[in-house]
């Protein structure tokens, strides 16, 4: 009987070992939320260094999380170049699922533990900042706080800032017009752009497209040309980003745009074309005093600062 009992114990022990190994293998293939958070953060931020600040980890830790995710799936998700990151086909497929998993994870936390927010937030942003910087923030905010209605107003910073001051807007993501106003998030580079086939930068005076007279971008462009002693002629004047780009594409003018809004098909101009550097824009979030006490505004303001107060370099 003792021999039989000992034999049975060995069988049970071996079975436990096999089950443990199977469980370990299954756990290795589970898509852990920490891995997915790092993956989505890298895609949204465009670099490991920028993503590290968003998920509060070191750059090496973010890289390790990505490797664990790729190892668990047995797939390459991101191709890393010298200064660029590109999603593979498998990475593009996973991205949609990863966002849905993380959104559901956040919703579950809010439903079970968090306070459900309601209300309305009026948020202003210029066209050139909307797609690059605001979209990732709203994608994170909306699923977590579905009871909050967001009204989005797209105008130039010079129009949005007075509206925040008067209480007509709760928040605005803008080019800061004065030091110490708003909460500074990062510096957005300005660049000269032109259509390569027209080479308007060779003309004297050089035709330029500019924003309205109060625009900080216009001021940066004029100051740069003045410091160079470069002659210019304003041939297009509008507050519309689309209009500025159209003026350049049609061969009407050269323009100074925020780097995030410069289309890839336009040529970035610099010293080789006889054009000097431009002062960068200080991108900040402004908040109305009238919105104090609104938890919905508190939450969106906090997410804007947390997501965007980081290095804008690749």
At residue 259's C-alpha, the angle toward residues 180 and 172, to 5°, is 40
Per the structure, how many domains does the chain have? Answer: 3
Q: What is the pLDDT of residue 207?
A: 97
Residues 213 and 199 occupy one common structural domain: yes
Q: Clarify whether residues 295 and 171 are in a common domain.
A: yes
In a domain, 314, yes or no: no
Residue 276 — φ and ψ, nearest 5°? -85, 175
Establish if 18 belongs to a structural domain.
Answer: no
Is residue 139 within 8 A of residue 179, CB to CB? The reply is: no
Return per-residue pLDDT of the chain as tens, 314 residues.
Answer: 555 555 555 545 555 545 444 444 445 578 999 999 999 888 877 788 878 877 889 999 999 999 999 999 999 999 987 667 889 999 999 998 998 898 788 778 777 766 678 999 999 999 999 989 999 899 889 878 888 999 999 999 999 999 999 999 999 999 998 877 899 999 999 999 999 999 999 999 999 999 988 899 999 999 999 999 999 999 999 889 999 999 999 999 999 999 999 999 999 999 999 999 999 999 999 999 999 889 999 999 989 988 888 534 33
- Same domain as 199, residue 139: no
Q: Which of 76, 95, 111 is the last residue of a domain?
A: 111
Among 173, 91, 103, CA closest to 131: 173
Q: How far apart are CA 29 and CA 164, in angstroms?
A: 49
Q: What is the CATH number of the domain that holds 271?
A: 3.40.190.10
Q: What is the pLDDT at residue 213?
A: 85
Query: What pLDDT is attached to residue 311?
Result: 39
CB contact at 8 A, 191 and 262: yes
Tokens of 295: 């938890």
Q: Is 207 left (phi over 0), alpha (psi -120 to 50) or beta?
A: beta
Global confidence as pTM: 0.68
Which range of residues forms the domain containing residue 304?
117-186+286-308
CATH number at residue 69: 1.10.10.10
Rounded CA-CA distance 254/233 in Å is 10
- φ and ψ at 214, to 5 degrees? -85, -5
DSSP secondary structure string, 71-113?
HHHTS--EEE-SS-EEE-HHHHHHHHHHHHHHHHHHHHHHHHT
Q: Is 266 a domain residue? A: yes
Assess whether 105 and 122 both reside in one domain: no
The reply to whether 154 and 297 lie within a common domain is: yes
| Spatial strand order in the sheet of 148-154 | 148-154, 119-125, 171-175, 281-287, 183-188
């Amino acid at each position: 009987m003792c021999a039989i009992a000992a034999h049975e114990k060995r069988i049970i022990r071996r079975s436990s070992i096999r089950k443990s190994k199977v469980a370990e293998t299954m756990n290795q293939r589970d898509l852990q939320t920490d891995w997915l958070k790092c993956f989505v953060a890298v895609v949204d931020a465009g670099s490991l260094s920028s993503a590290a600040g968003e998920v509060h980890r070191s750059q090496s830790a973010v890289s390790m999380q990505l490797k664990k995710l790729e190892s668990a799936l047995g797939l390459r998700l991101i191709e890393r170049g010298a200064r660029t990151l590109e999603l593979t086909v498998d990475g593009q497929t996973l991205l949609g699922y990863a966002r849905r998993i993380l959104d559901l994870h956040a919703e579950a936390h809010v439903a079970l533990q968090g306070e459900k927010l309601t209300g309305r937030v009026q948020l202003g942003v210029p066209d050139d900042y909307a797609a690059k910087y605001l979209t990732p923030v709203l994608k994170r905010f909306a699923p977590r706080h579905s009871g909050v209605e967001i009204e989005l107003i797209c105008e130039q910073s010079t129009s949005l800032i007075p509206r925040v001051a008067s209480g007509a807007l709760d928040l605005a993501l803008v080019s800061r017009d004065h030091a110490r106003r708003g909460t500074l998030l990062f510096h957005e580079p300005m660049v000269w752009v032109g259509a390569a086939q027209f080479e308007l930068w060779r003309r004297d005076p050089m035709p330029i497209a500019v924003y309205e007279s109060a625009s900080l971008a216009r001021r940066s462009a004029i100051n740069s040309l003045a410091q160079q002693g470069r002659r210019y002629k304003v041939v297009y004047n509008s507050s519309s980003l689309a209009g500025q780009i159209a003026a350049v594409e049609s061969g009407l003018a050269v323009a100074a745009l925020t780097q995030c809004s410069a289309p890839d098909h336009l040529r970035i101009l610099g010293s080789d074309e006889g054009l000097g550097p431009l002062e960068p824009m200080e991108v900040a979030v402004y908040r109305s005093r009238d919105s104090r006490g609104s938890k919905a505004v508190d939450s969106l303001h906090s997410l804007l600062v947390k997501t965007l107060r980081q290095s804008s370099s690749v």
